[in-house]
Amino acid sequence: MLGAGGQRNQRKAKGTMDFAFQRSYRGPLKGIILDWAGTTMDYGCYAPAVVFVEVYRRKQVPISIQEARVPMGAHKKVHIRKISQLEPVAQRWETVHGRRPTEEDIEAMFQEFIPLQLACLADYADLIPGTLEALKDFRGRGLKIGSTTGYTGDMMKLLLQEAKRRGYEPDATVCATDVPAGRPEPWMCLQNAMQLRIFPMEAIVKVGDTLPDIEEGLNAGMWTVGLARTGNELGLNEAEIARLPADVLEARLAVARERMRQTSAHYVVDAITDVPPVLDEINARLARGERP
Ligand SMILES: [Mg+2]
């Protein structure tokens, strides 16, 4: 038997069901969520990479810095596990230890990783040039500034102090250890939105230097900007970039940009200093009723 509502729907079904009204957000951006290493500090994203190499060296399984960089962006323990699953690494491990790495090996390496990472984090805490100017631009637009990271809470506590001494204080920081799972799952971004009390998600843009950074933003329903030059994709610091022949640098940047586009980043630029004009474009798209 149909109630009053059911009868109404039945009448509607005869003529008006072909169209539905949809609410769309037309306001401006309200927040920006920034990654840490390779985005605002640690040009080339070296701090984690060198420690992953050291942790594997201590297990008599040498890995290259390129292998150490493959899973960058993930929770650091997940990262250690993912390195161990790279086939060449797993084979080298088997040659040395007579078996593939186990979950116990991963846990043991993570426990070694923590103090080693804490010991050298401050050495890589300098802000990427132009970060303070970009932050000033974001603040000038009235944006709240959030942040996400694959670092643990203890590591972030230290880095937040280092960042503050250099003039950078985000309004919110969420670590992989604060949520059920880190990148590429969206929880760190959503937790930022909640802490900053900003919505809807299409009023927020996520900026980062790795593919999981882009995925976490997309999974959260936010706009995403990938940084190709200052982070893990290129994997070089300023001095190393300065020594590269221009054509080699351009070729390597082209690969990084393409990988980020293939991951469906809305925008790919070189560095955080290139983000302000992107925000203008996103605001124009929002005003037209577009969504990420
Ligand atoms: Mg990063």
CA atoms within 13 A on the CB side of 156: 20
- Is residue 35 among the annotated active site residues? yes
* Predicted local confidence at residue 279, as pLDDT: 98
Catalytic hit among 35, 42, 209, 213: 35
Residue 223 has pLDDT above 60, yes or no: yes
Q: Give every strand in the sheet of 31-34, ordered side by side.
A: 174-175, 144-149, 31-34, 204-208, 223-227, 267-269
User: Contact 38/224 with Cβ under 8 angstroms?
Assistant: no
Ligand 1 center–CA 61 separation, angstroms: 25
pTM of the model: 0.91
What the block records as the tokens of 106 is: 């991963």
Q: Is the pLDDT of residue 212 over 80?
A: yes
| Residue ranges with CB less than 5 Å from ion ligand 1 | 35, 37-38, 209
Close Cβ partners of 72 (under 8 Å, ≥ 6 residues apart): 38, 45, 48, 49, 79, 150, 210, 212, 232
Q: Which pLDDT belongs to residue 20?
A: 86
pLDDT of 19 reads 87
Is 178 considered catalytic here?
no
pLDDT per position as a tens digit, 103-115: 999 999 999 999 9
Distance 121 CA to ligand 1 centre (A): 13
- Domains along the sequence of the chain with CATH: 31-46+126-287 (3.40.50.1000), 48-123 (1.10.150.240)
Q: Is the pLDDT higher at 258 or at 6?
A: 258
Q: Is the confidence at residue 7, as pLDDT, over 60?
A: no
Taking the centre of ligand 1 as the mean of its atom positions, its distance from the CA of residue 127, in whole angstroms, is 13
Q: What is the pLDDT of residue 2?
A: 44
Residue 20 or residue 144, greater confidence: 144
What local confidence, expressed as pLDDT, does residue 15 receive? 59
Which amino acid, 12?
K
**Looking at residue 1, what is its pLDDT?**
44
134-193 tens-digit pLDDT? 999 999 999 999 999 999 999 999 999 999 999 999 999 999 999 999 999 999 999 999
Distance 9 CA to ligand 1 centre (A): 51
